[in-house]
Amino acid sequence: MIAPMASRHDPGGLYLIVIALEKSESGNELVLRRTVSNPRNVNFATLANAERLILASDVDKLSFLYYGSGSKTGQARWRPAWGVQTRLPLLIRMEISFTNDRSWPSLVVAPVVGSGTGCMWDIPLNRCMGV
């Protein structure tokens, strides 16, 4: 994802961000990596060497589900992948299960496009019209 970072934490501006499950010596960890976005060359491969922030340990499974329709008239439903490049899902749900008895509720977010993302958003069609 590409998202703004509050300037109290970092220089501010848009960042490339990934949340992923990564293996460690002690098991799987939920990890966030971020790096400053270059608007002229968005390259998510740079996240491989970005700072690693551990959000949780002893994670068994991480999954993302996407709620929405692939077209303006299609039926909205939860999907395991979102392949539509010009339309955001209405909701994104992150589910985490752990190897121990700990549990977290599902995290559900509604993605939005801000003015600094380089996208001209068409509100009636709920899709990016380009830069």
Q: What are the distances in angstroms from CA 6 to CA 14, 67, 69, 73, 78?
A: 9, 27, 31, 36, 30
Q: Angle at Cα 62 formed by Cα 91 and Cα 1, nearest 5°?
A: 50
Which segments in the chain show pLDDT lower than 70? Answer: 1-13, 39-41, 114-131
Q: Kindly report the pTM of this predicted structure.
A: 0.73
Tens of pLDDT, residue by residue over 109-118, are: 988 776 555 5
